[in-house]
Structure 1
Amino acid sequence: MDDGLHLVHLSDTHLTAGGRLLPAGIDPWAKLALALSAAGEYSPDAVLITGDIADRGDAIHADAAKILAEAQFRLGCPIITIPGNHDPSGSIDARFNTTRISTGPHPANTVHEINGLRVIGLDSAGFQQAQGELDAAQLQWLRQLLTGPAPQGTLVLLHHPPLESFSPVLAGRGLRNAQELNSVITGSDVRAVLCGHYHQLGASQLAGTPIFMAPSTAFNMNPLSPTQIVEQPDAWFSALKITADAVLSVPVSSSYAHSPSAAAQAYLSLRPS
């Protein structure tokens, strides 16, 4: 890991069925295609997607899996996906996470190895529930995994941040049992927890463990407004660089891509008609 590992962190794609647009006329499939295209500029070692693949439980997961499989081929790196509260139970199944090295208590609990870095996906989803939770089986599975360190440490992925939102409108929508998670990861080799759900870029810590929240590729909330959805003109994601000494995270707009159209069109050709 001389030059570090380069990761792309996407979240909250909110893909819709039947050509339905999101509020303000947002096309989430086009936003995802732009983000995946821009991700190629980084030559990432992995792409991490932290939930809400679908919007409101829409049955789009088979088509989403095809696009992510194409992206995995084009980018030449693993794509690691966990569910969010908009994804029905079991929808993130064997069609996703095809590079996993093991699976946990639920289909979306997976373990991946990226050049010595261990990535563990957790299912905090709670379909149609704003607040998430990790059940006892997942926590025990995680505890067992962390009894042995990975060469470059561990990243944990979950949808619901294990902390309160900056925005009052999102109060009470994080991970219900954050302290139970903290008791498992404290003293382990976990270098950071990556999550989404709040549709806001953010960073914090859980008793010393860094927490990084990715912006949504679809739309993002104004943290100073109780209701306003602020549409971004570009798809947003986070780019991470992990070195022996640090985990760095920065926001990136899809406009960074030098020539996104060819790859974006390839992804869009796989969207449902």
Structure 2
Amino acid sequence: MSQRVLQLSDCHLPAQPGTLYHGRDADQTLTQLVQQLGQMPRFDLTLLTGDLVHHAGPDAYQRLLEQVAPLRSPCHWLPGNHDDTAAMAAVDAGRMPGGKRLDLGRWTILLLNSTSNPDGRGSGDLATEELNWLQARLQQLQDRFVLLALHHNPTATGTPWQDATRLGNPDALEALVAAAPQVRGLICGHLHQAHALECAGRPLWSAPSTVVQFVAGSDRLEVETQPQLSTPGCRWYELQDDGRIDAHLVRLSTIEESMTHG
């Protein structure tokens, strides 16, 4: 039986509800998206993949958990470059990655913290301890299918300003993935765009933001305005028993696309 995993990313909830983020109400768009997702069959797991609040503290993280609660699925999060891990832990330390392993059927999802060694521009690394943990887990999980989740994209997208703020040490991650055939895919946030890429020969999907999207290919940050690309959205994945991943894109405009990888 396949496992249904929902990915919500880059929610950017403000300290005070109603404060606009690039002209949009992040609380409102997240609430609307959750309402739409609530009309779908229940997900087995919800992953929140970073940049969950924007210059805010524990109250905003608590508000986020309350907003996704109607989905009625176990929820776990990992931090992005805009997140405060101390504030996240203060709300619920049990959701923190810290080497988090989640088992679903024949699958294991490993949550990674890519916010080590921040450069002040948005980039971050996988710490040595995180890489060592990942290597040890992959050695233990040779008989299971594995999905990796992190905030920063390890692969360049061709958008210059974003490529400068991707994962700071992608080679280290790629080496571990290349040596682990049980890793069937990776997911990330950070980009405020929906991409289907590759990392070490495995599919890598980025989820759109639940609030605003950024223009792909631009030399500087620009907010997307094209209707089909600009609407809040998310991804969800069907993890199949044979190791395939069916990736789906959902937006508030109800546009949905899917891509399957073996």
TM-score by length of 2: 0.83
Letter in 2 for 1:118: T
**Alignment-derived partner of residue 185 in structure 1:** 177
What displacement does 1:108 show? 4.3
What displacement does 1:88 show? 2.1
SS at match of 1:95: helix
What displacement does 1:65 show? 3.1
Is 1:239 matched with 2:228?
A: no
**Alignment-derived partner of residue 77 in structure 1:** 73
Letter in 2 for 1:114: L
Is 1:254 matched with 2:247?
A: no
> Cα deviation per residue 1:98-125 (whole Å; 9 max; x = unaligned)?
4x6xx7xxx6432212233211111112
SS at match of 1:182: helix
**Alignment-derived partner of residue 42 in structure 1:** 41
Q: Is the 8 A contact 1:83 1:108 kept in 2?
A: no
- Identify unmatched segments of 5+ residues in structure 1: 258-273
Letter in 1 for 2:138: L
Letter in 1 for 2:244: A
Is 1:130 matched with 2:112?
A: no
Greater RCO (CA < 8 Å, at least 6 residues apart): 1
Q: Distance in 2 between the 1:96 and 1:200 partners?
A: 28
Q: Is the 8 A contact 2:12 2:53 kept in 1?
A: yes
- Identify unmatched segments of 5+ residues in structure 2: 256-262
**Alignment-derived partner of residue 261 in structure 1:** none
Pick one of 213, 223, 228 that aligns with 2:222.
Answer: 228
Identical residues among aligned pairs (%): 26
Gap change, CA 1:113 and 1:66, over 3 Å in 2: farther
Letter in 1 for 2:74: P
Q: Is the 8 A contact 2:146 2:184 kept in 1?
A: yes
Q: Is the 8 A contact 2:212 2:231 kept in 1?
A: no
Letter in 2 for 1:248: D
Letter in 2 for 1:206: C
Q: Is the 8 A contact 2:112 2:130 kept in 1?
A: yes
> Cα deviation per residue 1:63-119 (whole Å; 9 max; x = unaligned)?
4335425634x3332112101000124333263474x6xx7xxx6432212233211
Letter in 2 for 1:193: L
Q: Is the 8 A contact 2:184 2:243 kept in 1?
A: no
**Alignment-derived partner of residue 121 in structure 1:** 111
Gap change, CA 1:69 and 1:20, over 3 Å in 2: closer
Gap change, CA 1:117 and 1:39, over 3 Å in 2: farther
Pick one of 136, 147, 151 that aligns with 1:159.
Answer: 151
TM-score by length of 1: 0.80
Q: Distance in 2 between the 1:213 and 1:39 partners?
A: 18
- Size of the alignment, in residue pairs? 245
Gap change, CA 1:151 and 1:47, over 3 Å in 2: farther
Is 1:202 matched with 2:183?
A: no
Q: Is the 8 A contact 2:14 2:60 kept in 1?
A: no
**Alignment-derived partner of residue 259 in structure 2:** none
**Alignment-derived partner of residue 168 in structure 1:** 160
SS at match of 2:141: coil
